[in-house]
Structure 1
């Protein structure tokens, strides 16, 4: 085929951009086309009997048809045949004619390009002949190592006298990468082009020689190993020889580099252990099961943020500001937290190293929902340190804290080390949540491990079993939370500074709801504050009748439930712009009231008294009832009582009988049953007959609720004294206090919650032990103290004097 038959060049002809095959002149090649532009180019060439230009897309630009997306040198030829395939593709038989270069390409007419023919330059024919001879010699060597050049192909190359044709033919057989094939083909200096081809052939010869040697080495292992393993070893050996796979070496190099940067921060023992394990890993087979475990260990150690500390200085003012922003009330707790950090700030300013001050642990104690964990969150935000929460509730395995030894399957670091890794700082705020609920079993006692963690004399060298070297925890600020101090072991209590968080008063709950809970819940539910109206009376009714708790967690849930219903109403009634919820509307949204502290009875009765009790959800009024029945002086106690409370009832009965015997508690003689004989003899009647001739039944409702503790001692004694003396008890008086056998009133706990409950029940007078009166009265909210008379009592006689009519 003659180019002259198609006109002079340069000329504009259709352009085919192929993604895979790099073509050479004088090749007859089938092309499978599926791109619309390529198919249009073929159709145009056939229709107008034109030549067509075929070039190849660049590796990173496959599928694109832009000016820089393909190589500018390709092959000009004609389309010999076109066949449409069922899958939409077109098969074309293309015959190459000459090497050409694209000199202009218009993206708007992207099926055409302006091309010109280029020819190779032959400067020295003798030199070309010598180079062809060398090339043929190397091709023969390569054919002995690889069947890529069969004998008949070599013979055809030898018989061909056209050096350009030989170069094209050999290049097409070598299957070069796109970039390399373009670089060689686009070179118009034939001498240099042949030299480049010789270099490529020599590289292949060396590659096949190495491959053959490796194959021989690996073959010696076939008898000992499985075929699959042999193939893996062969690939691995090939990659090692060629330097293509250096992933493991790179990883080991990376580990050593990271270790070097941490060396001055991690201590000699830690550095020595980590370096030892990295060296051991570098000698291990990557497919070994131990290699994976060892690599995990090295990565865990290097993830520990040695030397990385939060740089912000401790500021008492920022702590106080954050606490006041996030929490209403809790004045005493916030003050003690501020004092704690004031000491730390002063030591920091004066650069005084005090190991004990670093290890001091704050422990927030109180019922659920009063803000223990959220105080820790506020501390973390104020100090600008990450917060790590470690939930200790129900933990029984010491390895959860200390880590597992690496000899065990599934070994991992303890939660504290994991916390440091997650925080990415060595001085985070770690919250040890529910420290009073730590368990123990055959796997150890986690509370004992906590001694090491929290003791400032030990935690600067805390040894995690998984790491097998000490880690400094002295810079960590530990904050713990608990519901009941009594459940914390004494040695552990000795290492903590307790901050008690008691119940909120109704007034405090109102302000928390108004300023914190309602705005937060409105935002969560996508509501605007102008879309809903809640009066003060409505909020107070929700607090008093729909929640019963020391904190505000359930109160938040009630508002969430209320706002969900409001959201539904707004969606169903688009014309609604504002929803107003009054006290009368609450039944519609929240059904009937769930909780209610009954107000004090207005009628004074015999044998019914008001006790004050502490529960996990705050204080409560404890009604104690008693009746006397004809009998022989026995005491029957009911109401699901614990052992301590049963003992208190027996002590109270003995104290009351002692008061009767001493004639301190006066008994009306009309209450004493007289036998006929006593009537006749007119003998003096003993007051003790009243408890000898009657059985007493003492009951504490509600019968299904477990009750225990000594603080109802004076209340039970008052009830027994009332029923035996037939004297009424003032209905507006409530009391709490432990009673001794000699009639002394001992102090109790939870006074704030108990007096808040009395305030809610509209009690007018509360009787409390003298020590509680002197010690705890300042903690009682002013609204409670102003609404009732709080009186101190020392003995049971004081109680009887104040409460009996």
Structure 2
């Protein structure tokens, strides 16, 4: 059917918009349509015996019939057949007749478009023939590279002389983008169009060549990998036949040999378990995933130093000598450590093996920097045993200590077993650092494992989950450290003996600085003793004004800072051979002083009392203040106090009220506010009205610091009594003690730290409970006792007699 059977062009035709490819005039192609406008266009063509134009939507504008969203060229043809499909689509058989160009289109009538024929320009057959020959050669090259190229097309091109027909045939099989296809389709200059097709074919040939090379490389690499694998397997088979594949056998033999040596030292179940795993490994292929896990387990077990013990015998004299060499003061701690090892030495001498492991575990308790961990280091050196430090601070996972079961990926032994492996001995000194900071959560409670480790009745059969057999820890010397023993669970406390290591006095700090810290820091900074001059007053000033601690860790940092500046001075100034640091130029090295404790006030004040407190970093002097305000007898307390101190404040208030009611505490009538009626009648007012007509506000300064504990009773009672009676409190007296409702003074803890704090604050007198005076005074350093009067009190009346002016 030819175009002559239809109306002449230009004419209005139904418009079909395809999504994918351009159709050409020689094509008879099926179209599957599901768009309503396309189906309407087909219906219009069939009903009115019209031609249709089929064009293509632009990239990204599929299913759109807006102007500019599809190309303005297409194929004019007729609908040969139409079939409705079950899925709602319509299948039509389309026959292309000629190329057409859309000259007018309106979105209001989107199924129609005004179309004119797209005729090629006239061309010279002679000029085009040479181009067609080149084109045919390029098509042949493309067919050799592209296996999917239609073979029949080459024959068709060779037999055809129509340049336009040849261009359409080749354009229809090229794999090009929509925009490139549009350029080739719409070009009316035949010569130019043929040249563009040649360029497009060349590009496609190059792309296919690169793709083929990449594919060949990938295939050859895969083939090489397979080839290497098969060759390796053949080599293994050949070596096995020849008996030369002995690497694995050698490893198994080495494991068995080592296990045989350890047999008499290992527990029976440990030996059986390890032997079983070695046998299992020998039967397993070395490329098996479980083989590496088994091998890791066997190597971990065989690294444990079964039967290896430090040979040096325990000597108390060596322990005492090392402790005195490394530490100044700490007499009580040194004495207890000596007693501990004296018992062990006697057991060794008398060969009482069964009782060796029944010793108590020592736990050093004290503020940071007082020498807890270094005492354990000294013990290790004195016994010539390796030191293993296990930091427990913040540990939450119980498997960190007990090990992970081998069923988990990345399972490893616990820290205790690792410690034995690192120490290469079965009897090291193990320091359980910060045992009061172990945390419990959903992963378990590590303190429960510590119960087994520290119990002499159990630790000879400590079971690590990774090893899956018992390890003997009875010969290990365990030393624990803690800042606050109150945070340790009671069950764990029961297995340890606590040695209190309290704050150092200024005199002790001076000797530690002079004999230990300064020589060590000089050596660390490469300085000679002759190059630094530090006088005793300078060191004492540094201790009193530049450090705020119970121990000496910060003091060491201060000396380190001094010596760094001294080194810089010596290096930068060639003529400087000695640096002198004295009280006058100390500020040049350390800036402004930092006062540790407020000194005693020179003036006595009403409602201000010096109390003594214990903290985790040593003792402190806390001034308790109070004011009275017109009110109804309400007591309010501030200063971030805990529940215990709040209860103490109420008890103290009640005790003072009772003293006033019993007339044991005199109140000046002038201080009691009178009502207007009482003033007019000039009547006397009872003493008890003083606490009924005033509100008391009690405060302990530094509200950001939490405070709690049963030792501030007499301090608060004195402050309240002072403010109600308007009598000043002596400024050079400090006190500590708890009160009962009957006015008795109860004993307290941390007396040494509190008295040292009072000593640093230059107090002249300190009031303490009678029981503490009788029980704890021997532990107080002599310089503290000499510097002030320490007086025992039994009741609140004794306290008020000493304190109120």
What TM-score, normalized by structure 2, do the two folds share? Answer: 0.71
Match of 1:442 in 2: 442
Q: Is 1:339 aligned to residue 339 of structure 2? A: yes
Cα deviation code 1:273-314 (max 9, x no counterpart): 010001011111111111111111101101111111111110
**RMSD (CA atoms):** 1.7
SS in 2 for 1:266: coil
* Conserved 8 A contact 1:389-1:430: yes
The offset of 1:494, in angstroms, is: 0.6
* Conserved 8 A contact 2:739-2:746: yes
Match of 2:620 in 1: 620
Q: Is 1:572 aligned to residue 572 of structure 2? A: yes
SS in 1 for 2:263: helix
1-side partners of 2:230 and 2:661: how far apart? 102
Match of 2:728 in 1: 728
2-side partners of 1:572 and 1:334: how far apart? 45
Match of 2:48 in 1: none
Match of 1:788 in 2: 788
Match of 2:187 in 1: none
* Conserved 8 A contact 2:608-2:626: yes
Structure 2: unaligned runs, 5 residues or longer: 1-221
Match of 1:320 in 2: 320
Match of 2:117 in 1: none
2-side partners of 1:685 and 1:733: how far apart? 33
Cα distance change on mapping 1:744 and 1:227 into 2, 3 Å? farther
Cα deviation code 1:718-739 (max 9, x no counterpart): 0000000111111110001112
Match of 2:748 in 1: 748
Aligned positions of 1:418-567 closer than 5 A: 418-567=418-567
The offset of 1:683, in angstroms, is: 5.2
The offset of 1:800, in angstroms, is: 0.7
2-side partners of 1:666 and 1:325: how far apart? 58
* Conserved 8 A contact 1:434-1:480: yes
Match of 2:657 in 1: 657
SS in 2 for 1:640: coil
2-side partners of 1:622 and 1:274: how far apart? 62
Cα deviation code 1:129-186 (max 9, x no counterpart): xxxxxxxxxxxxxxxxxxxxxxxxxxxxxxxxxxxxxxxxxxxxxxxxxxxxxxxxxx
Match of 2:803 in 1: 803
SS in 1 for 2:585: helix
Q: Is 1:410 aligned to residue 410 of structure 2? A: yes
The offset of 1:316, in angstroms, is: 0.3
The offset of 1:436, in angstroms, is: 0.6
Q: Is 1:238 aligned to residue 219 of structure 2? A: no
Q: Is 1:300 aligned to residue 300 of structure 2? A: yes
* Conserved 8 A contact 1:358-1:475: no
1-side partners of 2:286 and 2:758: how far apart? 72
The offset of 1:676, in angstroms, is: 3.3
* Conserved 8 A contact 1:355-1:456: no
SS in 1 for 2:584: helix
Match of 2:714 in 1: 714
Cα distance change on mapping 1:584 and 1:235 into 2, 3 Å? farther
- Higher Rg: 2
The offset of 1:675, in angstroms, is: 2.0
SS in 2 for 1:785: helix
2-side partners of 1:711 and 1:342: how far apart? 38
What TM-score, normalized by structure 1, do the two folds share? Answer: 0.71
The offset of 1:242, in angstroms, is: 3.6
2-side partners of 1:482 and 1:682: how far apart? 65
Runs of 4+ deviating beyond 4 Å: 225-229, 679-684
1-side partners of 2:664 and 2:228: how far apart? 100
The offset of 1:763, in angstroms, is: 0.5
The offset of 1:703, in angstroms, is: 2.3
Cα deviation code 1:189-246 (max 9, x no counterpart): xxxxxxxxxxxxxxxxxxxxxxxxxxxxxxxxx99x9666434422322333344441
Aligned positions of 1:765-776 closer than 5 A: 765-776=765-776
SS in 1 for 2:442: coil
2-side partners of 1:352 and 1:744: how far apart? 51
* Conserved 8 A contact 2:484-2:616: no
The offset of 1:577, in angstroms, is: 0.9
1-side partners of 2:357 and 2:465: how far apart? 27
The offset of 1:749, in angstroms, is: 1.5
Cα deviation code 1:577-598 (max 9, x no counterpart): 1100001111100100123322
Structure 1: unaligned runs, 5 residues or longer: 1-221
Cα deviation code 1:56-96 (max 9, x no counterpart): xxxxxxxxxxxxxxxxxxxxxxxxxxxxxxxxxxxxxxxxx
2-side partners of 1:690 and 1:291: how far apart? 87
Q: How many residues align?
A: 583
Aligned positions of 1:219-234 closer than 5 A: 229-234=229-234
Cα deviation code 1:653-693 (max 9, x no counterpart): 11111211222211111211222333455655221110110
SS in 1 for 2:624: strand
